[in-house]
Amino acid sequence: MSRKNQTLGEFIIENQSSFKYTSGELSRLINSIRLAAKVVNHEVNKAGLVDIIGAVGDTNIQGEDQQKLDVYANEKFIQTLKNRNIVCGIASEEEDSFISINSQDENNQNKYVVLMDPLDGSSNIDVNVSVGTIFSVFRRVSPVGGPVTIDDFLQKGNKQVAAGYIVYGTSTMLVYTTGDGVNGFTLNPAIGTFYLSHPKMTFPKDGHIYSVNEGNYIHFPQGVKNYIKYCQMEEGDRPYTSRYIGSLVSDFHRNMIKGGIYLYPKSSKNSNGKLRLLYECNPMAFLAEQADGKASDGFTRIMDIEPTELHQRVPFICGSKNMVEKAEEFMRNA
């Protein structure tokens, strides 16, 4: 049961029983992410004050070194999840390898691992444009109680038990799924509480927005070039509108609300594109499918791709179902 204006805390408690593993562990995990999100949000909102309170590399008034926001976000999310002893392992865009938590403690019965991009949209951080946090949750496959292994993280996206993002935009929202639809919560900054503002979010089947970095056009595969030309063609409900923020979370969020497609294809410069399978594409693909949308690499469903390494990159096409299918048709026929 969900109702508008319900707080995220209430929503988590009331919906716990609808989740197939009901130990409460996943609820506590979402709660920790909610907490870390508020801390990071506070810092992101201060970013514009950097010239006044000190630039990165300076020492602030408490004698602490000022940090880059992405490093700060990484530390806050890891610290929160570690302190509350909720997960057994974490992988992050900011860390070369995965982190095993309490692997020495035989009483550690935690079953979940989290993969995350703590602050995505790095080129937008310093220029007051929306950025986001992305997270993906799996049940471990190695035995509970022992240290986590790489296999706990290299799972196909279709094994995810939860995924979501936080968008630090004109307002801050936390959007997540546990496999039963997608719900969006908006932070009331005055009292620090997230409220259910967007219950059961869905992509419109069709849309009029395409989001791609067209500066790379010359390097794109022919199928993608043909699809972009199709978007620009004067015919029927086209040309579509071009909107590209350069923050995956924000571009995805807008497209889910308005209807649209996001593309980060491979190019002659990056043979696998740019985005990371495990903590960027998989969680967004899970959300997309839970919201009636679609996500593929142009040929294969993102969530069916077998991961081979932690920081693996894949081409990514995601958004309104009919639009993604049209783009795939162009790729197949090129």
Which residues of the chain form contacts with Mg ion (CB under 5 A)? 117, 120
Helices (H) and strands (E) in the chain, counts: 9, 13
Stretch of 103-111, 160-168, 240-248, 321-329 lying at the interface with ligand AHM (CB under 6 A):
240-248
* Interface map 312-331 toward ligand AHM (x if CB under 6 A): --------------------
Q: Smallest distance from the beta carbon of 94 to ligand AHM, in angstroms?
A: 10
Q: Smallest distance from the beta carbon of 73 to ligand AHM, in angstroms?
A: 11
Stretch of 8-16, 95-103, 119-127, 222-230 lying at the interface with ligand AHM (CB under 6 A):
119-127
| Of 248, 285, 288, 305, the one binding ligand AHM by CB under 6 A | 248
Nearest Cα neighbor of 211 from 325, 323, 329 is 323
33-61 as b/e, with b when 16 or more CB fall inside 10 Å? bbbbbbebbeebeeeeeeeeeeeeeeeee
* AA letter at 31: N
| Of 26, 77, 113, 120, the one binding ligand AHM by CB under 6 A | 120
Residue 213 binds which of Mg ion, ligand AHM, none (CB < 5-8 A, kind-dependent) = ligand AHM
Q: Smallest distance from the beta carbon of 119 to Mg ion, in angstroms?
A: 8
| Nearest CB to ligand AHM, comparing residues 93 and 328 | 93
Q: Smallest distance from the beta carbon of 267 to ligand AHM, in angstroms?
A: 10
Question: What pairing do the DSSP bridges indicate for beta strands 89-92 and 112-120?
Answer: parallel
| Nearest CB to ligand AHM, comparing residues 117 and 328 | 117
| Of 67, 213, 242, 312, the one binding ligand AHM by CB under 6 A | 213
- Between CA 162 and CA 37 the distance in angstroms is 16
| Of 23, 59, 60, 123, the one binding ligand AHM by CB under 6 A | 123
| Nearest CB to Mg ion, comparing residues 92 and 110 | 92
- Evaluate whether 88 touches 112 at the Cβ level (below 8 Å): yes
* Opening angle at CA 211, ends 210 and 216, nearest 5: 115
**What tokens were used for 158?**
């279709």
**What tokens were used for 268?**
């002659």
274 binds ligand AHM (CB under 6 A): yes
- Evaluate whether 250 touches 167 at the Cβ level (below 8 Å): yes
Nearest Cα neighbor of 282 from 152, 116, 142, 94 is 116
Residue 293 binds which of ligand AHM, Mg ion, none (CB < 5-8 A, kind-dependent) = none
- The 182-188 sheet, strands edge to edge: 99-100, 89-92, 112-120, 131-139, 162-168, 172-177, 182-188, 193-198
Q: Smallest distance from the beta carbon of 126 to Mg ion, in angstroms?
A: 15
Q: Smallest distance from the beta carbon of 293 to Mg ion, in angstroms?
A: 20
C-alpha dihedral over 23, 27, 32, 33, to 10 degrees?
Answer: 130
Give the footprint of ligand AHM on residues 76-105 (CB under 6 A): 93
Q: Smallest distance from the beta carbon of 117 to ligand AHM, in angstroms?
A: 6
| Of 121, 204, 207, 315, the one binding ligand AHM by CB under 6 A | 121
* Opening angle at CA 5, ends 112 and 286, nearest 5: 35
122 binds ligand AHM (CB under 6 A): yes
- Between CA 136 and CA 158 the distance in angstroms is 11
| Nearest CB to ligand AHM, comparing residues 32 and 267 | 267
Residues in contact with ligand AHM by CB under 6 A are 93, 117, 120-123, 213, 246-248, 274
